Structure 1
Amino acid sequence: MAEVFTRPNSPYGGARTAGAIDQGLRSFMLGTYNYMALGVAGTAVVVMLLMANPQVMAAIALGPMKWVVFAGVLGLGFFAPRLFFGGSDVVAHGAYWLYCALWGALIAPMVSLYVGMGLAGIVGQAFFIAAAMFAVTSLIGYTTKKDMTGWSGFLSMASIGLIIVMVGSYFFINDAGTSKMVSMGISAVVVLLFSVITAFETQAIKSMYIEQASYGNEAQLKRSSIFGAFMLYGSFVTLFIHILNLLGLASRE
């Protein structure tokens, strides 16, 4: 990165060198990944707590609460930019940790099912495969010179389409064999799609830092770091869920 970033209203006197931007970017991305890792750990704690309280988990998995939790996850995802950049640091942290907790409530029944079936090993396998895929695709997004900005519309529409297909298959496909094939197909597509989304989001976070750092807005940068963790966390947990589904379905053949 050879250029010098200049802004007429920058509190840094109008410019920051490329070296300063690069050093700050590394610290920023490290902070983002740390927030994400803590979010994943928090989700694991929620899963373990619910597994230790099967009545509460059953109420979430079998009752109308599952739709409330699902709507909460979608709602936070939709309103995330406003929550993170339109409020305070407290609001940003609250939205992030609530998001992680809601995901924990959503995936706890699935994890509990496989553990109860004596397939606890595939949960660990799914986690490490998801972590490896996430690391590789995030690195690609960080290092690639290709501008992925134009992919935003396609990735958004593909994600919405997959949600519609998943909800539709839940309500309208009753045959066990067909349901299994559709589930495997959806999960395979989701894994591929969110691998690309991870790279796209990493590049977007990197660009967001470069833009904001040139203005020297430290408060905004802190919220941007949490927002970046929010985006990457969502992609990671989605990869984990669908890799776990693929391994679980394959193990029961």
Structure 2
Amino acid sequence: MANGFDPRGSASPFTATTAGRESVAFDAGLRSYMLSVYNYMASGVLLTGVVSLLFARSGAAESILFGPGILKYLIIFAPLAFVMVLSFGIHRLSTGAAQALFWAFATVMGLSMASIFFVYTGSSIAITFFATATAFLSLSLWGYTTKKDLSGFGTFLIMGLVGLIVASLLNLFFQSPAMNLAISAIGVLLFAGLTAYDTQRIKSLYFQVAGTDMIGKVVIMGALNLYLDFVNMFTFLLQFLGSRD
């Protein structure tokens, strides 16, 4: 009777060994999945940075981005179009098409971000980039490892993001330096929170798509979300740390 409450007395050695192997395989699958997400995200950021720097030094960027003409607006709004297509069409896209759209998005994002090289000094851009990278890695690691359920913060963060977009649009008309500073501060905090939240959400999605043909698409969407968190946090932080030319 005593052995009935002792797992060592009732468990089969084969069952225990199999469960252990399944657990190890599952953990390895999760690590591979998250590594793929981070690789895509980091490669996208690198591609954006290279394209941005090359375009800024091409001699044509300043006249296009700060001059008249429709090309400027195509460059500015093209990244949003790619995000919309990926977000709303991911179920209809093949994994290969989603990957191609992600790289195209990172490329046009580089074109649109080239303007920062005409506003801020190169050293302040570099310092802000490394500060953002450090904060992003810390926040993403916390989101991955914490036992705290962050899903409750999702609605609050998304509502805050909508409010931030509205405030940014309004400030295009008001051009208030104080409002711009407040928007930047709130933006840094919001995307810091979204970094941890998105990391945990991306991790949890693995348990739903592991072993299905959706996993490749989920990797791309996870990389896109973390990419947007990083780039937006960098952009808002640059308004604090960036030294203007």
Same fold (TM over 0.5): yes
Partner deviation per Cα, 1:9-41 (whole Å, 9 max, x = no partner): xxxxxxx93332211111111111111111011
Q: CA deviation at 1:221?
A: 1.2
Aligned counterpart, 2:14: none
Report sequence identity in percent: 36
For 2:149 and 2:60, locate their aligned partners in 1 and report how far apart those are by CA, in whole Å.
Answer: 49
Match runs of 1:1-16 below 5 Å: none
For 2:235 and 2:104, locate their aligned partners in 1 and report how far apart those are by CA, in whole Å.
Answer: 19
Closer, same or farther: CA 87–56 of 1 in aligned 2, 3 Å:
same
Matched, 1:223 2:217: yes
For 1:18 and 1:70, locate their aligned partners in 2 and report how far apart those are by CA, in whole Å.
Answer: 46
Partner deviation per Cα, 1:44-78 (whole Å, 9 max, x = no partner): 12112211223244313444444433433333333
Aligned counterpart, 1:8: none
Match runs of 1:161-180 below 5 Å: 161-173=163-175, 179-180=176-177
Aligned counterpart, 1:205: 202
For 1:121 and 1:54, locate their aligned partners in 2 and report how far apart those are by CA, in whole Å.
Answer: 20
Aligned counterpart, 2:136: 134
Match runs of 1:1-253 below 5 Å: 17-63=22-68, 64-114=70-120, 119-173=121-175, 179-213=176-210, 216-217=211-212, 219-248=213-242, 251=243
For 2:237 and 2:146, locate their aligned partners in 1 and report how far apart those are by CA, in whole Å.
Answer: 25
Query: Contact between 2:52 and 2:113, CA under 8 Å: does it hold in 1?
Result: yes
Query: Contact between 1:84 and 1:91, CA under 8 Å: does it hold in 2?
Result: no
For 2:88 and 2:103, locate their aligned partners in 1 and report how far apart those are by CA, in whole Å.
Answer: 16
For 2:71 and 2:170, locate their aligned partners in 1 and report how far apart those are by CA, in whole Å.
Answer: 19
Partner deviation per Cα, 1:178-203 (whole Å, 9 max, x = no partner): x3322222111111100000011101
For 1:44 and 1:221, locate their aligned partners in 2 and report how far apart those are by CA, in whole Å.
Answer: 27
Where does structure 2 lack aligned partners over 5 or more consecutive residues? 1-20
Quick one: which amino acid aligns to residue 198 of structure 1?
A: T
For 2:195 and 2:218, locate their aligned partners in 1 and report how far apart those are by CA, in whole Å.
Answer: 16
- TM-score relative to the length of structure 2: 0.83
Closer, same or farther: CA 223–129 of 1 in aligned 2, 3 Å:
same
Query: Contact between 1:50 and 1:57, CA under 8 Å: does it hold in 2?
Result: no
Query: Contact between 2:61 and 2:114, CA under 8 Å: does it hold in 1?
Result: no
Matched position secondary structure for 1:54: coil
Where does structure 1 lack aligned partners over 5 or more consecutive residues? 1-15, 174-178
Closer, same or farther: CA 61–223 of 1 in aligned 2, 3 Å:
farther
Of residues 127-136 and 238-247 in structure 1, the stretch that sits farther from structure 2 once superposed is 238-247
Closer, same or farther: CA 98–57 of 1 in aligned 2, 3 Å:
farther
Count of matched residue positions in the alignment of Structure 1 and Structure 2: 223
Aligned counterpart, 2:15: none
For 1:160 and 1:40, locate their aligned partners in 2 and report how far apart those are by CA, in whole Å.
Answer: 24
